[in-house]
Structure 1
Amino acid sequence: MVQRMSGTALGAASVLLLASLTACAGTGDDTSPSLTAPGIFYLRPPGDKAGPHDKMPYSLVARDTGGPGARTLTADVPEGAEDTVVIRKYGGCTGSSAHVTCEVDGDYSNWADAPRAKVVAAKGAKAGDSAVVTYRYTTKGGKKLAARTRFVVGEPVLEAVTPESVDDVRPGSRLTEPIVVRNTGEVPARGLGLELGVSGTEFDTRYANCRYPDPQKGSLAVCEFPHLTIDPGETVTLSPALRIRTPETQMYTSYGKDVWALDMGPGHYAAVHEGGDHGEGPALEPQPAGKHPGGTFVAGGGSTNVILDTYADYEVSAVDLEGDPGDEKTFEIEVHNNGPADVGSPVRLLFEPPLGMTMRKQPMTEYDDGVYEPYCESNGFTYTCDVKALKPGESQALEFTMVLGEPGEGTLTLENKKPFSSWDVGRRDPDAGNDTAVIRVSG
């Protein structure tokens, strides 16, 4: 069941427990020897390779500025806990599954260095079993440092309802989306971290108990619930629901939810944004488990694409050239977005010159410092040119210089690029007639 604990006594007890397990010896300056390890670390049950998304690996770090030479690192499983965890030794370490000794240097990390005493769940260990492993580091000068980690068998695996897309949302409306989290792991998630983000828009509600870091103040929220416990199989809904102010002129926007167990951290390649003021709206509060709106759960959360109920009318303008065969003419092909929406860059231009017309100059793009290549691809006759993202009312002009041939006509055609995902609906152009124009040469 979902538990909400309150009171300074419980909060202080949690802090003291973590402080006692997260050992860090030394005075805190750069020259003092130190040994650091996580206060708690979750292990996969024996033989189970599933688990949380993007998990931060175990990190054991020792520092000693006493000069070159070997130091001693040991790891010990307490007596009676051999059926819960065992130690695997690597990189020249010696000992048993309960006691391992390694020779390491004065700048040691189990991420980067070969000697390792890796703790894993023992065969037969059950979810929820735990043991405190003690690490001891002897400096070159003989100083002994200790750090301890409580290893827990099983892991909390948090998932959030994250639909791939939301369709046909009215531009400028308020979009309301529930915040629903569940734990599909083997052990409780003790504390919940939540990051909410929106792209191309802003929050309509800013929660009083969430931080809004600069410079993304209107589009990023960080919320922490240290006293919330989500048991295995439990679902929790956070209320009030997420409210987003949708843009007036964009066709696509998105929002995202990232969730993690606080004592595991947000993941190996994730970082929690620091600072920021709290919002001025209501507090975001977990509700007891019960009926939830369903939807697609994604491990760790993810992004949802929002497709607004609008369109963009793109137009290519005709080109008329006068001259005799052999005359050199410079002209522009113009693509215009008549709006009402900004749809990104889903279009390319196909330019088929009249027969007999030959190229002198074409648009170029700089792909390295002072090095250029043609902006458009060519098969020797047709030029295919990407159209950049155009806001409503904007145009892109592509300038060519060509030698005229006999009078004749070519074509200018706007073509949709291949959709890059299942939710990409392109520009929904309502006027296909102005997607094609003629380039005409007359004498």
Structure 2
Amino acid sequence: MNGRRPLKRAAGVGAAVTFLLAALTSCGSGATDKAPSITAPEMFYLRPVGDKSGPHDKDPFHFSADDGKAHTGVRGSADHTLTVDVLPGAKSAVVLRKGGNCTGSPTHMTCEVRSEYDSRSDGGVSLVAAKGSKPGDAGVVRYTYTDRSGRKVTARTKAVVGEPVVEVLTAKSRTGVHPDAELTEPIVIRNTGEVPVRGLALEVGLEQLEFEERYANCRYPGFYKGHIAVCEFPDLRIAPGQTVTVQPALRLRTPETKMYASFNSKARALDMGPEYGGVMAGGDHGDGPVLRPEATTAEKGTYAKGGGWTNVVLDTYADYSVSDVDLYGDPGTKRTFKLTVRNNGPADAGAAEKLVFSPPLGMEMVKQPMQEYDEDEYEPYCENGAFTYTCDIKALEPGRTQTFTFTMRLGEPGEGTLTLQDKKPAQDWYVGDRDPDPSNDKAVITVHPDR
């Protein structure tokens, strides 16, 4: 016997596996001590020699160990030993790269480590493809962690040369889509890697859209109010160069009063382990049909590693307007007034506009809108240049207004201007608010003699 419990697979294909010492010896163990453990990926894919391409957001290789002692935050000296060995028959596929406090050869490394060790933060041995190896070559690497009392625990990783590289057909934008209508979106996935995809995870996230139906083999995490679907296909295999299409196509409902929406289609190979940053957990399954990936011929278009966002531009508009302002008083009189911008609808175009305020000559600023940029620290909300104030307009739902309050000292009677201007497009798909009535985009602010 090697003193280990039987291997227990963690949730998810390719997940890290933790090995524990079967039992603690009776001496030297406190009531809160646990068995020593070492955690390493069950499988890890290696980039072929000289090839720096690969999948998107891959979780970097790492492993960790813990002697199980109850610690008080002080990790102590490096008096534990970690050895890493490339097992016989594996050196033609994988070799070791030295890091941290380690010595040895490409097939055997010894590292002096602390009681709690993580290769990600402490440095250590990493795995790389051996020179002359080919995609599909594989070998096993063994880790042995020994605590200061001589207790040992081991773990193993199967290292495979080459990687599955999952790409998703992604359009930058969809235009001409009607509000409150059904949008049908196929999900097309291909493997441009060197080895097969073994199991696939698909995640679809929605912004301003709704799922028209929820699929039986997808989870919908409740925290996101049904705007994310997480679907797994553990038995799916996608050979290098092969393309699959998820059937049926997703059916999405577009918003009634928004000009812009978007969705994100992400996919990854399950045996690559969890995506970097964690896995979306929880959620009930849908009651709709089952999604099934089917082999198809490659479709033309833009494919993105791991997936990407598609922006939806709806066939609607937003009519913004600004109102005249009349002020009365003699020169030197202080007046507080409001500049009001209204979205007359029928849609919310987001933060698409800005207000340019040019006061009448002779007016002097006393107080202007402010915004908090840090705790109890404020700065002017509107940019000021050449006695012109430019104020960003927030996203306004149809019928809503935004008001800017100024206090100024009046000059002689005269007129200034209020002008709504489109913001410069940040993306080539952005069409602004499509305001159909430019006549109400301008107004005047007038200083009159005191009545």
Question: Do 1:331 and 1:400's aligned partners in 2 also have CA atoms closer than 8 Å?
Answer: yes
Q: CA deviation at 1:303?
A: 1.0
Decide whether aligned partners of structure 1 residues 320 and 18 sit closer, same or farther in structure 2, where only a CA change above 3 A counts: closer
State yes or no: 1:399 paired with 2:417. no
**Corresponding residue to 2:52 among 49, 53, 56:** 49
State yes or no: 1:370 paired with 2:376. yes
State yes or no: 1:108 paired with 2:108. no
Q: CA deviation at 1:228?
A: 0.3
- Note the residue ranges of structure 1 that are not aligned, 5 or more in a row: 1-13
**Corresponding residue to 2:162 among 139, 154, 164:** 154
Render the CA deviation track for 1:247-290: whole Å, top value 9, x for unaligned. Answer: 00000011111100001134323x32211111111000011233
Identity over aligned residues, as a percent? 57
Residues paired across the two proteins, number: 427
Q: Which residue of 2 aligns with 1:281?
A: 288
Render the CA deviation track for 1:291-350: whole Å, top value 9, x for unaligned. Answer: 54x321110001111000000000010111222222222211110101000011111111
Decide whether aligned partners of structure 1 residues 20 and 435 sit closer, same or farther in structure 2, where only a CA change above 3 A counts: closer
State yes or no: 1:85 paired with 2:90. no
Q: Which residue of 1 aligns with 2:425?
A: 419
Render the CA deviation track for 1:95-142: whole Å, top value 9, x for unaligned. Answer: 22111111111111111113x222211111000000011111111111
Q: Which residue of 1 aligns with 2:363?
A: 357
Q: Which residue of 2 aligns with 1:199?
A: 207
Question: Do 2:242 and 2:298's aligned partners in 1 also have CA atoms closer than 8 Å?
Answer: no
Decide whether aligned partners of structure 1 residues 74 and 346 sit closer, same or farther in structure 2, where only a CA change above 3 A counts: same
2-structure distance, mates of 1:132, 1:22: 14
State yes or no: 1:119 paired with 2:127. yes
TM-score, structure 2 normalization: 0.90
Decide whether aligned partners of structure 1 residues 291 and 263 sit closer, same or farther in structure 2, where only a CA change above 3 A counts: closer
34-43 or 326-335, which deviates more: 326-335
Q: Which residue of 2 aligns with 1:142?
A: 150
Partner SS, residue 81 of structure 2 = strand
Amino acid at match of 1:72: T
Question: Do 2:14 and 2:41's aligned partners in 1 also have CA atoms closer than 8 Å?
Answer: no
Alignment of structure 1 residues 2-401 onto 2, 5 Å: 22-26=17-21, 31-66=34-69, 68-69=76-77, 70-114=79-123, 116-269=124-277, 271-290=278-297, 292=299, 294-401=300-407
Question: Do 2:38 and 2:155's aligned partners in 1 also have CA atoms closer than 8 Å?
Answer: yes
2-structure distance, mates of 1:167, 1:242: 17
Q: Which residue of 2 aligns with 1:429?
A: 435
2-structure distance, mates of 1:173, 1:94: 64
Amino acid at match of 1:108: Y
2-structure distance, mates of 1:277, 1:21: 25
69-78 or 54-63, which deviates more: 69-78
Question: Do 2:15 and 2:41's aligned partners in 1 also have CA atoms closer than 8 Å?
Answer: no
Question: Do 1:352 and 1:381's aligned partners in 2 also have CA atoms closer than 8 Å?
Answer: yes
Q: CA deviation at 1:23?
A: 4.8
Decide whether aligned partners of structure 1 residues 37 and 15 sit closer, same or farther in structure 2, where only a CA change above 3 A counts: closer
Question: Do 1:195 and 1:222's aligned partners in 2 also have CA atoms closer than 8 Å?
Answer: yes
- Note the residue ranges of structure 2 that are not aligned, 5 or more in a row: 1-8, 24-31
Render the CA deviation track for 1:354-386: whole Å, top value 9, x for unaligned. Answer: 111111222222223333222211124111111
Q: CA deviation at 1:19?
A: 8.9
2-structure distance, mates of 1:96, 1:373: 60
Q: Which residue of 2 aligns with 1:8?
A: none
2-structure distance, mates of 1:323, 1:217: 54
Partner SS, residue 354 of structure 1 = coil
